[in-house]
């Protein structure tokens, strides 16, 4: 049985642009672990991500420091169902230039192909994943944190997933 590819979602800088509220976004006040946050979210993101998942046969997964709180505060606001969560506990290993999330992504994805939408991925993350034993095909989509996830970002994922399945 072939496992479905993964669509890994960050929140801040991806679904919650750091440039402030944008047109057609709603503002939501959240409290996570006693800390208040104000997020700006677009309901269109939920529809577009669900459509991409259905079209490509991929599974949506939270890859965010919001962890399970994303299912409580973010998903319902943009129309996503509860999604699996990649937990991100502190790591003991030395940092080799990759973002702290990258080893968790590698461990979770394993040999499943994945697209990772994040605003903090760079060449060190690509190199870590490329050299990590057990990681197979992947695409990192670097999202501009000022404007968040765009149709171009989604099209990159769609094109990559379509090519690998066709």
Per residue of the chain (166 residues), give pLDDT as tens.
568 999 999 999 999 999 877 889 999 999 998 999 999 999 999 999 999 999 999 999 999 999 999 999 999 999 999 999 999 887 656 566 788 899 999 999 999 999 999 999 999 999 999 999 889 999 999 999 999 999 999 999 999 999 976 5
What is this structure's pTM? Answer: 0.93
Q: Report the distance separating Cα 84 and Cα 149, nearest Å.
A: 20
Residue in the block written with tokens 């379509």: 162
Distance CA 100, CA 60 (A): 21
CA 84, 107, 4: angle at the middle one, nearest 5?
55
d(CA 17, CA 39): 8
Pairing of strands 114-118, 6-9: parallel
Rounded to a whole number of angstroms, the distance between the first and last alpha carbons of the chain is: 17
User: Please, which residues have CB within 8 angstroms of residue 120's CB and are 6 or more apart in sequence?
Assistant: 10, 13, 99, 101
Domain ranges of the chain: 6-165
Cα separations in angstroms, 158 against 49, 88, 94, 140, 161: 10, 27, 34, 13, 5
Domain 6-165: give its CATH code: 3.40.50
Beta strand pairing call for 35-41 and 114-118:
unpaired
């Amino acid at each position: 049985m072939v496992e479905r590819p993964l669509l890994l979602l960050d929140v801040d800088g991806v679904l919650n642009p750091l440039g402030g509220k944008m047109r057609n976004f709603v503002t939501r006040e959240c409290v996570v672990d006693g800390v208040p946050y104000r997020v700006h979210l677009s309901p269109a993101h939920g529809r577009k991500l669900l459509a991409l998942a259905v079209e490509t046969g991929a599974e949506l997964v939270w890859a965010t420091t919001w962890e399970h709180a994303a299912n409580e505060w973010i998903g319902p606001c943009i129309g996503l169902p509860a999604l699996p969560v990649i937990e991100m506990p502190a790591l003991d290993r030395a940092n080799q230039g990759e973002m702290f999330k990258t080893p968790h992504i590698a461990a979770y994805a394993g040999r499943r192909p994945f697209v990772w939408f994040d605003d903090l991925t760079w060449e060190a993350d690509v190199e870590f994943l490329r050299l990590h034993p057990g990681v197979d095909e992947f695409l990192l989509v670097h999202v501009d944190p000022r404007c968040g996830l765009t149709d171009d970002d989604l099209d990159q994922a769609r094109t990559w997933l379509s090519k690998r399945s066709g």
